[in-house]
Structure 1
Amino acid sequence: AIHNQMLLQQIDEQGRELEALNRIGSVVTSSIFDLDEVLDQVGALIDQMIAVEAGAIYLRERDGLTVKKSFGTRGSRLEPFKVKSIEGICSYVMSRGESVLVRDASQNPHLSSLDRSFSGTKARSILCVPMVAGDEVVGAIHMWNKERGSFTAHDNKVMKAVAASLATTVASSRLQQLCERLTDMEVQDQETSPDVS
């Protein structure tokens, strides 16, 4: 009876996970023109799928790294902010394009101050996955303290899929913005050029 109950609970969790992944897929393919809206929705869906105390979606921008979206029971109150210097796990993940899973943060001497505490959350376990579009790391999804237990290899696999979809959306959104800027510049050039007829 206990074994059956555990199996039913596992099936229920997998069903919720698949539903959240499906919704994330829908969000990232339908709303690429409003990246902030996509990040808001994806952050909320990640939090539904893998409940965490704190999580952040970092994006690499021309002038550095920005936490564009935070989520989780403690992280959701944060407004976007620039990261002064990238260090620790996120630095490693973004420079190597490899995810990092730390099951017991108290045993890891390589954590930065941001890794150890984010939004008042003292790290017990950490999962950070890169967002890779083509061969460029455009950002990372960094999570602290899974609410039920530690992060698992399965969580890592699921978040890699989410990060890949989100990275494609970020790259598409940036390409769209570039096209709009170039179109605006061309229109301005045509308006300011002397008529040579």
Structure 2
Amino acid sequence: MYESEIRRLQQLDTLVEMTKLINSTLDTRQVREKSIIAIMQLMDTEAASMLLLDSQTKELYFEVVMGEKKNEIQSIRIEAGKGIASHVARTGVPLIVQDAQNDERFFPGVDQTSGFKTRDILCVPIIFKERTLGVLQAINRRHGAFAGDDIVILHALANQIAIAIENAELYQDSISDGLTGIYQRRYLDLRLKEEMHSAMRYQHPLSLMMLDVDHFKQVNDRFGHSTGDEVLKKLASIMIQGTRLSDVVGRYGGEEFMIIVPHINQRDVEIVAERIRRSIANCDINGIRVTVSIGIAHFDGRPDKVEYDRLLELADGALYEAKETGRNKLVIRRPR
């Protein structure tokens, strides 16, 4: 009894700390990853995951996984009506399932992929204002690892996660471009000022890329604005795929994009920009091919002060030169 009370108090302390941690960020990815870290700390569990509900297909997909072969597991989608997680998402009722492989609701596909042999499952819904967002799962090979108190703790965590996810998504919507889903101009301006301040203070390099779609008006005139929108969305996707998580990719307006690239030398930023340029030029978008011109301003981290407007002016000037000297190319400039 004494040991169980100690464990309960430790869980409550951890719950309070993890709730603070989860609510300390408005980055949706961080919220989700910290949530699974919280489960691993709160529960005596060997694997944990967050599955989110696809509002259109009603399938569950693995958003975050901790455990064996997590990369393979994240490609799995669970059809509506299959598996214990789907049951919990549909009913909204938390469950502890012991000897899960003999439960008729059990979906074996995940174990077949991971080689993990699930014995016990603790699963709770993530619900915000009566809308099911997904489920949290803790999984063990051992029998009897979960108790009724664990449901209470995990359910409390799920409630906090639901609020944090909703807040993070609302914030993300406020700083994202409605068409492409990448950052919009107001946020880009803010982040560029922050990154410049950091680069000058700590004397690390910073690059700013401005990209403009060549002859984009012709795409709209010939194929229509809806097709033009699809082109912009595809280009945004290519830019995201061609950059690091630490880079900031956004739509600056119309067919113009901005990429803020911190902690990178001039040669490497040219490689990144050229890779993006080639990927776009080689991409067939519903039978349409487009190119981009790229202007780059590079600050090498020297203690010389460079104003925000000056870096933007250099990138714009480089972009203009790329446009005027043939398009589908990149030009780089540095402060003097």
Secondary structure of the equivalent of 2:78?
A: coil
1:56-101 Cα shifts (integer Å, max 9, x gaps): 1112245753312122xxx165137243333211111112222222
Counterpart CA distance in 2 for 1:44 and 1:147 is 20
Relative CO higher for 1 or 2, CA cutoff 8 Å, sep ≥ 6?
A: 1
- Cα distance change on mapping 1:20 and 1:118 into 2, 3 Å: farther
Match of 1:58 among 42, 51, 63: 51
TM-score (norm 2): 0.47
Counterpart CA distance in 1 for 2:134 and 2:150 is 18
Q: CA deviation at 1:44?
A: 1.8
Counterpart CA distance in 2 for 1:124 and 1:131 is 23
Residue 15 of structure 1: aligned partner: 9
Contact 2:43 2:150 in 1 (8 A): yes
- Cα distance change on mapping 1:116 and 1:156 into 2, 3 Å: farther
Match of 1:89 among 78, 84, 99: 84
Amino acid at match of 2:121: I
Q: CA deviation at 1:106?
A: 4.4
Residue 142 of structure 1: aligned partner: 137
TM-score (norm 1): 0.77
Q: CA deviation at 1:118?
A: 6.9
* Alignment RMSD (CA, Å): 2.8
Counterpart CA distance in 2 for 1:120 and 1:30 is 35
- Cα distance change on mapping 1:61 and 1:54 into 2, 3 Å: same
Secondary structure of the equivalent of 1:30?
A: coil
Contact 2:119 2:143 in 1 (8 A): no
Residue 68 of structure 1: aligned partner: 63
Residue 169 of structure 2: aligned partner: 174
What percentage of residue pairs aligned between the two structures are identical?
23
Richer in helix (by share) = 1
Contact 2:96 2:146 in 1 (8 A): yes
Structure 1 gap segments, 5+ residues each: 1-5, 192-197
Secondary structure of the equivalent of 2:124?
A: strand
- Cα distance change on mapping 1:10 and 1:148 into 2, 3 Å: farther
Q: CA deviation at 1:162?
A: 0.6
**1:159 and 2:157 matched:** no
Contact 1:102 1:126 in 2 (8 A): yes
